[in-house]
Structure 1
Amino acid sequence: MTRPEPRQILGCILAGGLSRRMGGGNKALKEIGGKPMLDHVISRLESQVSSLILNANGDPHHFDLYGFPIVADTIEGFTGPLAGILAAMRHAKANHPAITHIASAASDTPFFPLDLVEQLSDAARDETTIVLAGSGGNKHPVFGLWPVALADDLDSWLRTTDTYKVLVWIERHRLAVVDFPLIEHGSQTLDPFFNANTPEDIAAAEHYFAERLT
């Protein structure tokens, strides 16, 4: 298999959750470093893929200023990030026939690597291998490279399973994991996949920006 090129990869920013730990609302629009977290995520992912979509549920007009497609889950009930990935696969098949893979990133993770997609693409072994990012001994299931060819399998699984855990579905398929180094800055260590789930996390992210860990 030839590694997927950026022109074959659709970027999907996952913002379909309920943001309960943030007190509700649109977590992606919470500000860090003077602008919404979503802006940071877009700036990091946009240059790595052919185009971007946002997976979000609820009122899509909250994101009108961004000017790219807002794609809601095709599976009802807020079933987690796999529903967003499936929605991106379906969107790609319907609108971008040249797309072979979805590159996903979380909307609340403003420090992820600028070579994320390149590294994940290098690890794709064949047209059905799922590639996840890892760091510090942990897998990050919302940061991955997902073959569009698996859309029907994922759809069927989501409609029949009693669990929506990402890794449970992934175990049905070939998996590769790319480990990314932690960011060392003085006496501090930053996981590049740090995500801001709570107001305390927002404060920590502000501190990282103040220390120029971007």
Structure 2
Amino acid sequence: MRDIDVTGLILAGGQGRRMGGRDKGLESFAGQPLVSHVQARLVGRVAEIVISANRNLEVYRSFADRVVSDPESGFQGPLMGIYGGMRAATTPWLLVVPCDTPALPNDLLSRLAAGVDEHDIAVAHDGERLHPVVALLRTTLADDLLTVLATGERKVGRWYARHAWVAVDFGDSREAFTNLNTEDDKRRLEARLQEESRP
């Protein structure tokens, strides 16, 4: 799989309920918006970076080639964001990542691509748990996803179960998938990364 075959999609369209309704992707982390750390993991590794966002669209445009919003209003969840990204992609594959995982592995795409084999979906597994919104998917699944969304389904895992999917082991980099859902989460990871960067 070549870089030109993959669109990178950053999911930043949530309500940020656990951060007081603030736009999580634009929250400051180590002096930069969270989304910028995630974007840095994709630059040069994918054909195009697309951000799924439902507010602050102009701000997000400075971090992506394109910004797309959910086709339905009301903060419908990550599955709707994935559909929007699939519909926007012009490549056979879509790499999905959330905006609140600033320490994602630099080899994320290469390892998911190596693990997907003949499957339609490869999902990161940190050795303890699956991370459904860190995944590599065939964009040809878009029509099926639209059909499922029309039934009211919003659970990512239940949609994956309809297709040939595989978990890819990232047990050697478990902490890279830390989600920053609260201010405490953010402070802990900032402190840990600062500690690791010291000589």
Shorter chain as normaliser: what TM range?
Answer: over 0.9
| 1:156 corresponding residue in structure 2 | 147
Q: Which amino acid aligns with 1:170?
A: Y
* Conserved 8 A contact 1:120-1:178: yes
* Deviation larger for 59-68 or 73-82: 59-68
| 1:187 corresponding residue in structure 2 | none
| 1:204 corresponding residue in structure 2 | 188
Deviation for aligned residue 1:124: 2.0
| 2:16 corresponding residue in structure 1 | 19
**1:61-85 CA-partner distances (Å, limit 9, x unpaired):** 2324335211001233322111111
Q: Distance in 1 between matches of 2:28 and 2:179?
A: 13
1:86-101 matched pairs, under 5 angstroms:
86-92=83-89, 96=90, 99-101=91-93
Q: Structure 1 residues 159, 213: closer, same or farther in 2, change over 3 A? A: farther
CA RMSD of aligned residues (A): 1.7
Q: Distance in 2 between matches of 1:36 and 1:59?
A: 13
Q: Distance in 2 between matches of 1:155 and 1:83?
A: 9
Deviation for aligned residue 1:19: 0.2
**Other structure's SS at 1:47 match:** coil
The two structures have a TM-score, normalised by structure 1, of 0.87
* Conserved 8 A contact 2:35-2:63: no
1:21-170 matched pairs, under 5 angstroms:
21-66=18-63, 68-92=65-89, 96=90, 99-126=91-118, 129-161=120-152, 163-170=153-160
Aligned length: 198
The two structures have a TM-score, normalised by structure 2, of 0.93
2:2 aligned with 1:5: yes
Q: Structure 1 residues 64, 19: closer, same or farther in 2, change over 3 A? A: same
Q: Distance in 1 between matches of 2:56 and 2:175?
A: 32
Q: Which amino acid aligns with 1:174?
A: A
Q: Structure 2: which 5+ residue stretches go unaligned? A: none
